[in-house]
Amino acid sequence: MSDAAETTETDDEPDAKQQSAAKSQAIDKQLNDGDRDSLHTLPLALLPLSMPSLLRAKMLKDNHMRTMVEMFTSGGGGSGRMEVEGLENVFENTDEFMADIAILYQNA
């Protein structure tokens, strides 16, 4: 019976490695080169968040050194930035959001 348990564990290991590699590739596609080299920008796709809208956002420091979450940017047209505390007014207080906001406060 221990042989069967060992084969199941070894069968699961390649799947976990493939999923990890696939997640890393997906994150790499989302990041642009400016975000990789920036000292004041943290793409939230790098954090273990569960809400897709937050995964597309960035955390950054503005010119007053306040931590802001940039929900969107339109190049020359502007961007949608808000403080981490402001996210509580935008999103519903679900368990998923509360877990994500705790992670954002730890990184702010």
pLDDT, tens digit (0-9, with 9 covering 90-100), for 11-36? 556 676 776 666 666 656 656 655 66
Q: Do residues 4 and 43 share a domain?
A: no
Mean pLDDT of 72-79: 82
Write b or e for each residue in 46-56: b if 16 or more Cβ atoms lie within 10 A of its Cβ, otherwise e: eeebebeebbe
Q: Do residues 44 and 11 share a domain?
A: no
Q: Do residues 81 and 96 share a domain?
A: yes
Q: Do residues 7 and 56 share a domain?
A: no
Alpha-carbon distance values, 57 to 21, 24, 42, 104, 108 (Å): 22, 17, 9, 11, 14
Asked if 58 and 32 count as a contact pair (C-beta separation under 8 A), the reply is no
**pLDDT for the residue numbered 23:** 61
Whole-structure pTM value: 0.67
Strand ranges (DSSP E) for 37-105?
41-43, 58-61, 67-73, 79-83
Q: Do residues 82 and 60 share a domain?
A: yes
Mean pLDDT rounded to a whole number for the chain: 79
**pLDDT for the residue numbered 62:** 87
Q: Do residues 16 and 47 share a domain?
A: no
pLDDT, tens digit (0-9, with 9 covering 90-100), for 37-75? 667 788 888 889 999 999 889 999 988 999 999 998 887
Q: Do residues 4 and 22 share a domain?
A: yes
| Residue 13 φ/ψ, nearest 5 degrees | -60, -45
- Using pLDDT thresholds of 50, 70 and 90, give the confidence band for residue 77: confident
